[in-house]
């Protein structure tokens, strides 16, 4: 069991409230996943200044105290609980990620992009929201996940979101049945994995489809064809927000939509506090239908 919450803001006047709204959603999701949690924030200037390339990391030690010195140039780092976000105004995303991997070989890269920060940790979601100072976050899109682990260990790296491609994040409620087979196939194609988590296989698969030139909708349709098991997935890129469920659709999912925002959650109560919810269009996604929203 896991809890999923996501919010894409269309009305810019709500961007300063992204963190506050997402904190409320994460709190409601805590009952479905009390062991660990993670969030992805798109456009939070505290973590990813506008126009900067950013790489999110989990490190097993305190090596990140001298990031700027080790990476050189104009890089800077923000440590948020168990995660660190490194950003640079001049390096591209790929170059920054390469530099980070060379300088901190034991770190796990949990996200990269021009506006994306990924924060994860082990602990109760409410405590992690405090650790992330999530209430103060701003931005145009955020997703949150609370985990009750079934397929791999409770570690920060095993927490969602899984972000394995530039600006792309995936959160998963469920369990893939054939993830070992697909992981082997992807490894044979040269794809490297950070964890033994089944959801990471889904994220790597989506990344491989996007790299092959498919759009997000097509990539998720291909995922439905290839993956067995139970899944409700929320997948985001810098400007899109997508939801898909398996053929049985037993893992919960509710979508609410207004002119000002679109939100997805495991349970209705996660968005009971969102502004304008009384008049939102609310529905539960159909099985194996890919729903996408573009900003």
Partner 1 sequence: MAALTTTVVDLSQQSVRDLNSSLHQASPGTSWQVAHPGGAHNLAVGLTAGLDVVIDGPTGYYCAGMNQRATVTVHGNVGTGVAENMMSGTVRVRGNASQSAGATAHGGLLVIEGDAAARCGISMKGVDIVVGGDVGHMSAFMGQAGRLVVCGDAGDALGDSLYEARLYVQGKVKSLGADCVEKEMRDEHLAELTELLKAADRDDDPAAFRRYGSARALYHFKVDNSASY
- Give catalytic residues, as residue numbers: 2
Residue 251 to residue 232: CA distance in whole angstroms: 6
Peptide bond just before 20 cis, omega within 30 deg: no
Of 11, 66, 259, 284, the residue at the interface with partner 1 (CB under 8 A) is 284
Beta carbon of residue 247, minimum distance to partner 1 (angstroms, whole number): 9
Q: Is 226 in the site for partner 1 (CB under 8 A)?
A: no
Q: Is 254 in the site for partner 1 (CB under 8 A)?
A: yes
Calculate the alpha carbon distances from 137 to 19, 86, 150, 158, 271 in Å: 4, 17, 30, 23, 18
Q: Is 267 in the site for partner 1 (CB under 8 A)?
A: yes
Beta carbon of residue 27, minimum distance to partner 1 (angstroms, whole number): 11
**Coil, helix or strand for 236?**
strand
Q: Helices 216-226 & 198-211, crossing angle to 10 degrees?
A: 130
- CB of 164 or CB of 254, closer to partner 1: 254
| CA-based nearest residue to 207, from 109, 102, 99, 123 | 109
Q: Is 276 in the site for partner 1 (CB under 8 A)?
A: no
Q: Is 28 in the site for partner 1 (CB under 8 A)?
A: yes
> Quick one: which segment of 49-57, 115-123, 135-143, 245-253 binds partner 1 (CB under 8 A)?
245-253
- CB of 169 or CB of 254, closer to partner 1: 254
Residues in the chain: 295
Residue 225 to residue 287: CA distance in whole angstroms: 12
Beta carbon of residue 131, minimum distance to partner 1 (angstroms, whole number): 25
What does the DSSP 8-state code read for residue 81?
T
> Quick one: which segment of 43-51, 89-97, 215-223, 277-285 binds partner 1 (CB under 8 A)?
277-285
- What are the beta bridge partners of residue 121? 37
Binding site for partner 1 (CB under 8 A): 28, 249-250, 252, 254, 267-270, 272, 282-284, 286-287
């Amino acid at each position: 069991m896991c809890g999923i919450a996501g919010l894409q803001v269309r009305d810019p006047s709500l961007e300063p409230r992204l963190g506050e709204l997402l904190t409320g959603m994460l709190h409601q999701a805590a009952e479905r996943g009390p062991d660990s949690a993670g969030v992805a924030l798109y456009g939070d200037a505290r973590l990813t200044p506008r126009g900067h390339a950013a790489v999110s990391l989990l490190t097993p030690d305190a090596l990140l105290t001298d990031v700027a010195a080790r990476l050189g140039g104009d890089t800077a780092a923000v440590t948020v609980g168990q995660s660190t976000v490194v950003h640079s105004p001049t390096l591209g995303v790929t170059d920054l990620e390469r530099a980070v991997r060379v300088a901190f070989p034991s770190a796990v890269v949990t996200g990269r992009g021009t506006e994306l920060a990924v924060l994860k940790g082990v602990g109760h979601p409410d405590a992690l929201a405090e650790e992330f100072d999530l209430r103060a976050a701003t931005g145009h899109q955020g997703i949150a996940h609370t985990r009750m682990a079934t397929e791999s260990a409770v570690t920060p790296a095993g927490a969602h979101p899984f972000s394995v491609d530039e600006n792309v994040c995936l959160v998963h409620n469920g369990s893939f049945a054939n993830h070992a087979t697909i992981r082997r196939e992807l490894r044979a194609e040269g794809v490297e994995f950070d964890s033994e988590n089944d959801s990471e296989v889904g994220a790597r698969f989506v990344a491989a489809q996007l790299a092959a030139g498919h759009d997000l909708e097509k990539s998720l349709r291909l995922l439905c064809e290839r993956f067995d098991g139970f899944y409700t997935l929320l997948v985001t890129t810098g400007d899109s927000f997508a939801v898909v469920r398996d053929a049985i659709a037993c893992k919960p999912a509710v979508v609410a939509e207004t002119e000002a925002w679109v939100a997805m959650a495991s349970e209705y109560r996660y968005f009971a506090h969102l502004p304008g919810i009384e008049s939102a269009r609310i529905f539960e996604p159909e099985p194996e239908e890919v729903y996408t929203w573009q900003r």
